[in-house]
Structure 1
Amino acid sequence: GLLIDPYFSGTKIKWILDNVPKAKKLAKNNNLLFGTVDTFLLWKLTKGKLHATDATNACRTMLFNISTNKWDMDILKSLKIPKNILPQVKDSSDDFGLTDKSIIGKSYPINGVVGDQQAATIGQSCFTKGSVKSTYGTGAFVLMNTGNKKIYSKNKLLTTICYRLNGKITYALEGSIFIAGAGIQWLRDKIKLINNAAETEKIVKSLKTNNGIYLVPAFTGLGAPYWNPNSRGIICGLTRDTSQKEIVRATLESVAYQSYDLFNAMKHDGLKPNLVKVDGGMVKNNWFSQFLSNVIDTKVVRPKVQETTALGAAFMAGLKIGVYKSLSDISKNWKIDRKFVPKISKSNRTKLLKGWQQAIRKTLI
């Protein structure tokens, strides 16, 4: 369900095996193991007793077949990656062994392992087909639950595993934005236009419009739906009157525009959500949450608990040990904090998006 891109693990493993002599030697002697971050943590927490992952993390490596639910031998053969370095793939709510006693003096069972964005989807209780969440952290990720059906996008979105329970897969369609909150960090740490992220709301509110300034934060290339690793960031529309305020606003606005690109791709795949559940550090900014709703022309809902990734992993552990009896039981814990509905005219939205599309075209040259 993935596109070939250096963002994923497969080609990185190949590069290491081809270019790091020590890795090549260790692999030859069966002393090398691969894993995503969760695999590494499990290995450390169990003191090397368990080399495992779950299906949601496995499917992000570019090496896992989401139809057969197994490591893909054809891809492994093509990339010359030995299967024995790969972890065992388990359900998202499963028995992942015990933490070693030496860590905190007592041993605890590990019962929930789930990928970052899939965990946020679970934390947002997006268990029904068609439900959507969008997380705004360092990057931004939109996931739509597609039930037991794999939907292959014709618009460069990713087909992925949402979660796997009792061997049964629930699928999702995903769009990835590389730079969201990382753009705010750039404003603060690199060009020093702000002292902290909270300042941005006050700054953007002091401007009536964006004054024609657009920033495309392609600092590490562009993710979905462009998938162009060679693109680089640009700022368009600068005049003598441009101040730091416009650049701050353009950085915030860019995240909403990139979100529009993802939802527009979904629309062209025949999928249009009526409601988007949002979370992550950026959505604490009420101006941003409202602007997002305006741009994507959809109701946006923010939950009371915004650390949905940690919550989703906890829900999976709770499901395994019987704290929760079912997914519908988990859903009862979701509570709304605030709702945002579109408040701008169609003509204003069209004008804003036209400026963004012109900026994107310049980035892709």
Structure 2
Amino acid sequence: MADHILVIDQGTTSTRSIVFDSSATRVAMAQTEFAQHYPKAGWVEHDPADIWRDVLSTARDAIAQAGVPITAIGITNQRETAIVWDRATGEPIHNAIVWQDRRGAPMCAQLKADGAEDIVRARTGLLLDPYFSATKVAWILDHVDGARARAERGELAFGTIDSFLIHRLTGGAVHATDVTNASRTLLFDIHRGAWDDELCRLFGVPRAMLPQVHDNAYVFGTTAPGLFPGSSGAAIPIAGVAGDQQAALFGQACFDRGMAKSTYGTGCFVLLNTGTEAIASQHRLLTTPAYRLDGTTTYALEGSIFVAGAAVKWLRDGLGVITHASQTDDMATQVPDSHGVYMVPAFVGLGAPHWDADARGAIYGLTLGATAAHLARAALESVAFQTMDLVAAMVADGGARPPILRIDGGMAANDWLCGFLADMIDTPVERPHDLETTARGAAFHAGLATGVWSGLDELSTLWARERCFEPGMAADARETLSAGWHDAVRRTLTTG
């Protein structure tokens, strides 16, 4: 019987489980959304019990739909989200603190004032920002009674979502993560490929809490017997793990230096493959491992935008001007332009290249002639404008201008957005047949580790283009729109 891989795709707002066959074709999928918790302004939490419940239910559902034995499991996950749990019981001591959460901003500001940013930047490729995991862990240790003392005694474990799931799936036998998730904690030296004791001391995170770090294509462990009875009850190897954005780069078959992808989900993330060179950004981009295979790391420049699809969700849930996200495609075409309306979606601060944690969302250019359609168009345009800024920063950093941008994620289904994006970055935009490239990337890693696929050359043949959007906007029109956007951003920034 052909090989089949189950991928657990644990995202910010939903959990999906997808079964792929050996041609990387989806044969089954189950998905469910889960609750978001906002205890205070700028705070975002998840209940780990919700995540574990949904992982089990969707995985079992997908396996039942597929009706075939599972060869291996791949995991891809929201990055930077931090969980601390009891090693003995596996129970979290606090809700997961989500990547969008900003409560670590005061700690980051103090560390910057103390002159720590240079060493953090040099070793991790990251900026001192509450987006990353270390300040979240420190907050939990400092605000849960007895947590810091227990962590020092080795009683508590820290992990990103992948690590928590590996621990649960293996019945508590394995505490591990992969290089891409480890690299998003502010505690991992991306050049040595190891946890850094000095960074652990800097953030006050005991080294004993941290998981083992492995390659992306690696057998991390096997599932507890009987956990998935729909797969003959056998233990299944967990053989591929990658943070969602690096998984998407891999799933888009961007294996060569200079290839780039952009994912449009809750946020927007552009990654440019820089090969075995870790390019130090001068424009506040991130230097990050893209993947590590057989001990060799391929790096990427990354630009992270905190709000993309979340802006459309706000139009639906916050303002009620739409009832379904797909309406924005039609609304954007109902009007010839945005009527001078610009949305800067800094609902949880601004990411790259600005990194302003205190900025908040704003809409400029409103007149009595502005309509819901103009707001919808401005929300979509903001996604393209932010991508434009990231690509420009990558080129300025010395990264090769990508000849093509491969896109994925839910918003990539919006034809109008794809065309406008190609116009603003003045580069062809390719959309694959299967937009679930994040899950495909995790499947590719799991398949490499278990012999389903032979190598990157074979994986490249499995990628297929559905449509290419060519740029067609005149240069002066692009410059006018760009100038209006940059003026709106300048008005929004709280930093100089």
- TM class by shorter chain equals over 0.9
Deviation at 1:29, TM superposition (A): 3.1
Deviation, 1:288, is: 0.3
- Among 457, 461, 465, the alignment partner of 1:328 is 457
Structural mapping, 1:223-262, within 5 Å: 223-262=351-390
Find 2:349's aligned residue among 216, 221, 244: 221
Would you say 1:297 and 2:426 are equivalent positions? yes
Tell whether 2:238 aligns with 1:114.
no
1:90 equivalent in structure 2: 214
1:40 aligned onto 2:164: yes
- Displacement of 1:48 after TM fit? 0.3
Q: Does 1:201 align with 2:329?
A: yes
Q: In the alignment, what sits opposite 1:27?
A: 151
Mapped pair 1:287 → 2:393: no
Q: 2:116 matched to which residue of 1?
A: none
> Which one has a larger percent strand, Structure 1 or Structure 2?
2
**RMSD across aligned positions (CA):** 0.9
**2:159 match: secondary structure:** coil
Query: Residue type of the partner of 1:259?
Result: T
Map of 1:131 onto structure 2: 259
Q: What's 1:15 paired with?
A: 139
In the alignment, the residues of structure 2 paired with residue 181 and residue 348 of structure 1 have an alpha-carbon distance, to the nearest angstrom, of 25
Partner of 2:192: 68
Secondary structure of residue in 1 paired with 2:240: coil
Greater mean deviation of Cα atoms: 11-20 or 347-356:
11-20
- Checking the alignment, whether the CA contact within 8 Å between 2:260 and 2:272 is kept in structure 1 is yes
Residue 22 of structure 1: how far off its partner (Å): 3.1
Instruction: Give the Å deviation of 1:233.
Output: 0.7
Aligned to 1:339: 468
Does the 8 Å CA contact 2:152/2:206 hold for their aligned counterparts? no
Cα drift, residue 308 of structure 1: 0.4
Equivalent position of 1:143 in the other structure: 271
Question: Which residue does the alignment assign to 2:81?
Answer: none
8 Å Cα contact 2:268/2:304 also seen in 1:
yes
Kept after mapping to 1: 8 A contact 2:167/2:174: yes
Match of 1:267 in 2: 395
Partner of 1:175: 303
Measured after TM superposition, the shift of residue 332 of structure 1 is 0.5
The whole-number CA distance in structure 2 between the counterparts of 1:184 and 1:326 is 38
Structure 1 SS opposite 2:201: helix
TM-score scaled by length of structure 2? 0.73
Structure 1 partner of 2:203: 79
- Give, in angstroms, the shift of residue 270 of structure 1: 2.5
Task: State the SS of the aligned residue for 2:227.
Answer: helix
**Distance (whole Å) between structure 1 residues aligned to residue 195 and residue 189 of structure 2:** 6
Contact 2:246 2:291 in 1 (8 A): yes
Deviations 1:42-88 (A, max 9, x none): 00100100000000100011100001110011111222221110000
Aligned equivalents of 2:172 and 2:465: distance in 1? 41
Which secondary structure does the structure 2 equivalent of 1:94 belong to?
A: strand
Q: Name the CA distance, whole Å, in 2 between partners of 1:328 and 1:22.
A: 51
Aligned length: 365
Match of 2:228 among 71, 91, 104: 104
Cα deviation code 1:295-352 (max 9, x no counterpart) = 1111100000110010000000101111111111111100000000111100100010
CA–CA separation in structure 2 for the residues paired with 1:195 and 1:212: 24
AA of the residue aligned to 2:279: I
154-163 or 21-30: bigger deviation: 21-30
Q: Which amino acid aligns with 2:365?
A: G
SS of 1:155's partner is coil
Q: Deviations over 1:200-230 (max 9, x none)?
A: 1111101011110000000000000000000
Ranges of 4+ aligned residues in structure 1 off by more than 3 Å: none
Q: Match for 1:290: what amino acid?
A: G
> Within 2, Cα distance between the matches of 1:66 and 1:104?
35
- 1:319 equivalent in structure 2: 448
Question: C-alpha distance in 2, partners of 1:137/1:19?
Answer: 31
Higher alpha-carbon deviation: 159-168 or 267-276: 267-276
Per-residue CA distance 1:92-133 (angstroms, 9 max, x = gap): 000111011131232111100111100000100000011000
Give yes or no for contact 2:152–2:208 (8 Å, CA) kept in 1. Answer: no
Shift of 1:360: 0.3
Letter in 1 for 2:347: F
Deviations 1:234-256 (A, max 9, x none): 11111111111111110010000
Quick check: 2:252–2:261 contact (8 Å CA) kept in 1? yes
How far the C-alpha of 1:9 sits from its partner, in A, is: 0.5
Alignment partner of 2:290: what SS? Answer: strand
Residue 435 of structure 2: aligned partner = 306
